[in-house]
């Protein structure tokens, strides 16, 4: 995942990132970033055991430079060893018996807590997964840039973002293309807020008005309405904006949106405490394969 401000530069990048997540989502952190200098609960999710193994028997997380560990969460039946050295510390969980080990077909989270550095940028947590048969060291870091594409065993990554930048993960975003004279179109994406948030506003120079709308069947009639109070993003749950459901309605288009171009867009969020943040995106114009067959966005008249 790239920095939230540049996550969706091109459609190709989106597809590549989504494919990478599906292929390598073995030991990962929750989607979405975290704010500089904040306390962060790092929940390492184990997706499956090592190849050919029946269970995960150990997990060792090496702490990156700048991450100051405060504590780690114990697990019943597992031994917890903690070294708190900044930059070279380690947290290790080891199953005390075969019965306590994590079966290959089960998922679980191993949680530690610490303070994040005061400078934005990616943090890479290298994780050694030990199994009843073999082990995998999730420690590959890109030589340049932030993409894990092509890495066989990528380290778990956390994007540390500046104050005011929303810690919301945005994936698979796109805008439906339009033709000259067309007044409106739709934008679609998947949003995940690790600690919960509400999407309360949208703006783009490509349109005079941009709003979150909902389409749904009421009896035999498809109706559309603006979500005037915003769209709730429950903590850790992915909310999809898609044709025929929630979507961004762009009205009073300034010009036709040609396939292959990009549309800058700013999303504004608010958390449960009233803290306001925003996220700047560049969404590609043109539907990914299969998306155009979905329900079209209605043209609104104002």
pLDDT of residue 163 exceeding 90: yes
pLDDT tens digits, one per residue of 94-127? 999 999 999 999 999 999 999 999 999 999 999 9
CB 187 within 8 A of CB 178: no
- Helical H segments across the chain, by residue range: 11-24
Task: Give residue 7's pLDDT.
Answer: 38
Q: What pLDDT is attached to residue 88?
A: 75
Q: What is the largest CA-CA distance in the chain?
A: 69
pLDDT of residue 217: 66
Backbone angles phi, psi at 156, to 5 degrees: -75, 135
Please compute, for residue 236, the number of CA atoms within 13 A of its CA located in the half-sphere on the CB side: 6
Quote the CA–CA distance of 302 and 221 in Å, as a whole number. Answer: 21
Report the alpha-carbon distance of residue 112 to residue 41 in Å, rounded: 6
Q: What is the mean pLDDT of the chain?
A: 86
- Given a cut of 60, whether residue 22 has pLDDT beyond it is no
- Pairing mode, strands 156-161 and 34-35: parallel
Enter the DSSP assignment of 204: -
d(CA 48, CA 50): 7
How much is the pLDDT for 290?
65
**d(C-alpha 214, C-alpha 244), whole Å:** 8
CA dist 239 and 172 (Å) reads 12
Q: Which residues are registered as beta bridge partners of 35? A: 161
What pTM did the predictor assign? 0.77
The one-character DSSP state at 236 is: T
Cβ pair 256, 178 in contact under 8 A: yes
Span 189-224, pLDDT tens digits: 999 999 899 999 999 999 999 999 998 767 777 778
pLDDT at 239: 96
Residues facing 34 on adjacent strands = 160
Q: What is the pLDDT of residue 56?
A: 97
Looking at residue 287, its pLDDT comes to 85
């Amino acid at each position: 995942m790239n920095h939230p401000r540049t996550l969706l530069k091109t459609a190709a990048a989106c597809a590549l990132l989504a494919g990478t997540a599906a292929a390598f989502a073995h030991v990962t952190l929750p989607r979405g970033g975290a704010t500089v200098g904040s306390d962060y609960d790092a929940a390492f999710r184990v997706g499956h055991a090592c190849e050919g193994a029946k269970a995960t028997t150990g997990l060792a997380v090496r702490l990156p430079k700048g991450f100051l560990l405060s504590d780690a969460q114990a697990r019943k039946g597992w031994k917890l060893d903690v070294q708190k050295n900044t930059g070279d510390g380690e947290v290790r969980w080891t199953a005390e018996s075969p019965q306590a080990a994590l079966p290959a077909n089960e998922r679980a989270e191993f949680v530690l807590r610490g303070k994040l550095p005061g400078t934005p940028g990616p943090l890479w947590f290298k994780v050694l997964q030990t199994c009843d048969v073999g082990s995998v060291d999730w420690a590959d870091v890109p030589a340049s840039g932030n993409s894990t594409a092509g890495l066989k065993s990528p380290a778990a990554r956390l994007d540390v973002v500046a104050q005011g930048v929303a810690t919301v993960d945005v994936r698979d975003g796109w805008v439906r293309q339009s033709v000259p004279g067309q007044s409106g179109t739709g934008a679609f994406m998947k949003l995940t807020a690790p600690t919960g948030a509400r999407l309360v506003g949208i703006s783009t120079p490509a349109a005079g008005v941009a709003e979150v709308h909902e389409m749904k069947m009421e009896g035999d009639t498809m109706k559309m309405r603006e979500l005037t109070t915003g769209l709730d993003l429950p903590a850790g749950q992915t909310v999809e904006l898609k044709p025929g459901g929630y979507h961004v309605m762009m009205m009073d288009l300034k010009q036709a949106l040609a396939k292959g171009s990009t549309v800058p867009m700013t999303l504004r969020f608010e958390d449960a405490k009233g803290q306001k943040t925003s996220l700047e995106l560049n969404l590609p114009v043109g539907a990914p394969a299969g998306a155009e067959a979905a329900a079209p966005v209605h043209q609104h008249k104002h």
